Amino acid sequence: MKRIITAFSIIMAAVSCNSINPFLTEWDTPYGIPDFSQIKEKHYVPAVEVGIRQQQSEIDAIIAESDAPTFENVVEAYERSGAILDRVTSVLFNVSESDATESLQKIVEQVLPMMSEHSDNIFMNPYFFAKVETLYKDMENLGLNREQEMTLTKLYNAFVKNGVALGEAEQARMREINMELSSLSNTFGNRLLAENNAFAEEFGLSISEYAGAMAATEDRDLREKMFKAYSSRGNNGNENDTKELILKMMALRIEKAKLLGYENPAQMILADKMAGTPEAVDSFLASIMEPAVEKAKAEIVDMQAVMDEDIKAGLLPEGSKIEAWDWAYYAERVRKAKYALDEEQTKPYFKMENVRQGVFDLTTKLFGLQYEKLEDIPVYHPDVEGFKVTDADGSLIGVILTDYFPRSTKRGGAWMTNFVNQEITADGKDIRPVIVNVGNFAKPTADKPSLLTLDQVETLFHEYGHALHGLLSQCTYKSVSGTSVARDFVELPSQIMENWAFQKEVLAEYARHYETGEVIPDELIGKIMAAETFNQGFMTTELAAASILDLKWHMLDTVPTDVEAFEADACLNMGLIDEIIPRYRSTYFAHIFSGGYSAGYYSYLWAEVLDKDAFELFKEKGILDKETAMSFRRNVLEKGGSEEPMTLYRNFRGADPDPAALLRARGL
C-alpha cells in the first residue's frame, strides 16, 4: 500500500502542476497508440522527471518491504514499475530517430544523463540487489516457471553488469563512464545524420538511394566522387568528424570492461550471448570470410571482362581495372548479361503498397493474421500509416505502424521498434503491442509511386519479421517479451522472412505492375531466382568484413591513436581485398557506435545460419505449410526471451542447426 500511495501522490502533484501533459496517464486512444496529436516537445522533460521519481519510489517500496523476498514482491514488482517513464521514453527515443528536429535532439541530450543516472541508481543499489541475489541463489527452490527464471536471471545479470559489486570509488567511476558513453553515442548519431544530409545535398540523392545510383551511373568519375564522399562520412575533419568520438568511446568501453573484470569489451558483451566468447565469433567469421573472398575474386574476373569491352570501345583508358567504385555498376552489367535481369524491369512490379500487402497476405497464410487499415489515428508524421492486426479468432494481436519514406530528420537504414511493449499486467490484462517499421524507400512522385528495388523488397520483409516477433509475443513480463532476446538471436525472425520474398507462390500474390496490374511474368521470376546467389561473394565479404571490424574494435584492451590506421590494419589482417570495403567503415558504423550492436554485428550472419537451416524445413514441408509455420510461431515468435535461444530453436527444428546452411544459401 505504501508504494501505491507514494507513486499516486507523485503523479497527482505533477498533474496539478502540468495538467495537460499527455504522458502522465494511459493513452485514451484506439489500441493504446501514443497520443501524438497531444504530445508537444515541452512535455518530454517534465514527464521524464516525473517518471524517474515515480519509478524510484516504487523501487524504494520494494526495498522497504518487510516480508521475506519473493518473486512477486521483488522481481514482479520491478517489472510493473516505471509506467510513465516507459511511456515517455518509448516515444521520445523512437521519434528522435525518425523525425529528429534540432530542438528534439537537444531534448534527448538533456534526457540521456538523467536516464543514465536513474539506471545506475537502480542497478547499483546494494539493498535492492541483496533481495534479487537472495532469490537468484535460491532459484531452484522457488517453484518458478521458465519465463520467471529467465526474468530473474536477466535482472540479476543487469546488476552484475552494472558493477553492483564494485567498491564505492569504482562505482562512482562507472557512473561517469555510463553517462559519458550515453552522451557520446548520441553525438555520434547526430553527427552522422548531418553527414548523411550533407551527402544528400551534394549529390541530390539520399543515403538510401546511393546503392542504386552506383549501379546505374555510367560516369566513372562521378561514381568515384560519390563513393569517396559516401565512404568518408564522419572522416572529413569538419565539425561532424566522428574519429575522436570513436576513440573516446573505445577508451571508456575498455575501462568499463576492466572494472568488471573482463579483458576487453567483447568478452564482457558476449558473456551472455549465444556465441559466448570473442574467440568463438572470430572463428565463425573467419570460416565465412575465406570462401566469401574467393567467390568475390571470381566475380571480379567476370566484371573485368565487361570493363575490358568498354576499354576496347574506347570508353575507358587502357589498363583500367575494377575499383571499389566500379563494383556496383559492373556487377549490374554482368547480371544483365548473365541473367538478362535489370532492376528497371523489376521495379514496376514492386510498388511499396503492394509489397507491404504481400507481406500481410503471407502472414495471413502462415499464421492466420488479419489486417485492417486504421484511419484517423494519431501519428508522429503524415507519412505514417497504421494497421490493426488480429488473430484468426478475431482477438487483438496489436498495431503495426509503417513509416517508409526518407526525410532529412530521419536517420538512414531501416528498423523496427515498440511504442508499446507486450506484457500482462498484475490484474491479468494482456497489453498488446504497438510496433513501428521504419524505412527509407523512394518517396512517391507526382507521376510515379514508390517502386522498390529487389534489395528494398527484402528489407521490407526483413523488418516485418522483427515486427512479427514483437506483435506475436505472448509473455508475461516486458523485460523478456518480443524482441528482448539475445542479440545474436534477434535477427532470426527478421531474416527468415526474407526467404519468402521472391518465392513464386508469394510473388504471384503481390508483385503486380503498378500501371497495368499485370502479375509479374514467370520469365522475370525465373531470372530473379536464377540470380539468387549472384554477387554473393561481394555481399558476404562486405558484411563479414564489417562484422570482423566491429569485433576487432571490441577485442582491444588499449586504445589505438589513429582510427584510420587501426581500420586499415584490421582489413589487411582479415584478408579483405582492395575492391571491397566493409559494409560500414568505422566513422559511420552507427550499429556499433550509436546503436545496440557493439561486438554484435556478427549477429546477422550468426542468425542466418539459423534462418537458412529453418527455411530448409519449410522447403521440405512446403513453404506455406501451416503446421510448420504455426510451430515457428509458437516456439519462437511468441516466446521472446522467456527461454534460452537454442532451446527455442531446437523446439521448432527438432535438431541443432546445420552450420553449412548459410554457405549453401549464399552459393559459397
The set of catalytic residues is 463
Query: Per-residue DSSP letters for 652-668?
Result: HHSS---THHHHHHTT-
Phi and psi of 544, rounded to 5°?
-65, -40
Q: Which of 275, 276, 252, 274 is nearest to 265 (CA)?
A: 252
Q: How far apart are CA 653 and CA 668, in angstroms?
A: 24
Give the residue among 199, 189, 191, 266 at the shortest CA–CA distance from 228: 199
Q: How many CB atoms lie within 10 A of CB 7?
A: 20
Query: In which element (H, E) is residue 445 found?
Result: none
Nearest Cα neighbor of 434 from 87, 38, 97 is 87
Question: CA quadruple 629, 630, 632, 636: dihedral positive or negative?
Answer: positive
Q: Coil, strand, or helix at residue 397?
A: strand
Angle between helices 563-573 and 243-259 (to 10 degrees): 70
Q: Which of 65, 485, 125, 147 is nearest to 133 (CA)?
A: 125
CB crowding 344-374: b at 16 or more within 10 Å, else e = ebbbbbbbbebbbebbbebbebbbbbbbeeb
Measured distance CA(409)–CA(380) in Å, rounded: 12
Q: DSSP label at 578?
A: T
CA atoms within 13 A on the CB side of 111: 27
Give the residue from 486, 490, 477, 428 showing the smallest Cα distance to 144: 477
Q: If you search the block for the grid coordinates 535461444, which residue do you land on?
A: 645
Tell me whether residue 620 is exposed, middle or buried, using C-beta atoms within 10 angstroms of its C-beta: 0 to 12, 13 to 18, 19 or more. exposed
Query: Quick check: 264 and 241 in contact, CB under 8 A?
Result: no
Measured CA to CA, the distance from residue 512 to residue 351 in angstroms comes to: 8
Q: What is the CA radius of gyration of the chain?
A: 25
| Distance, first Cα to last Cα, the chain | 63
3-state helix, strand, coil in the chain (%, to 5): 60, 5, 35
Q: Is the dihedral of CA 219, 225, 226, 227 positive or negative?
A: positive
Pairing type for strands 396-403 and 434-438 reads: parallel
Closest CA to 117 of 60, 180, 44: 180
Q: CA torsion 174→105→34→391, rounded to 10°?
A: -70
**The pairing of beta strand 385-390 with beta strand 423-424:** unpaired
Segment (H or E) for 424: strand 423-424
SS3 state of residue 473: coil
